[in-house]
Amino acid sequence: MSETLILIISIGFMNILCFFIGAKVGQKVVNNKELNLPNPIKAIKEDIQAYEETKEAMKEQERLDTIAYNIDAYDGTSIGQKEIPR
């Protein structure tokens, strides 16, 4: 029952959002204003690049966390040390 209610509310919200976006675009067309639509290919490329940068930063952070853990867990032997990811 709750899934149905959430579905109804979300679809209603999307309908209202689409209506307002359409009204805004329609007003620009009526007033002869230029529509600036983003280039989807460029946007996707930027998203992919941002994802790759984030993934590299997460790998580097994991490497630094492992090094910090190894320093904290060091007791003169290699017991309890983690392998540093590459």
Mean pLDDT of 5-30: 93
Q: Residue written as tokens 């930063």?
A: 57
For residue range 10-19, what is the model confidence (pLDDT) as tens digits? Answer: 999 999 999 9
Q: Domain limits of the chain? A: 1-37, 38-86
Dihedral sign, CA of 50, 56, 61, 62? positive
From residue 81, how far is each of 60, 65, 69, 85 by CA, in Å?
18, 12, 8, 12
pTM above 0.75, yes or no: no
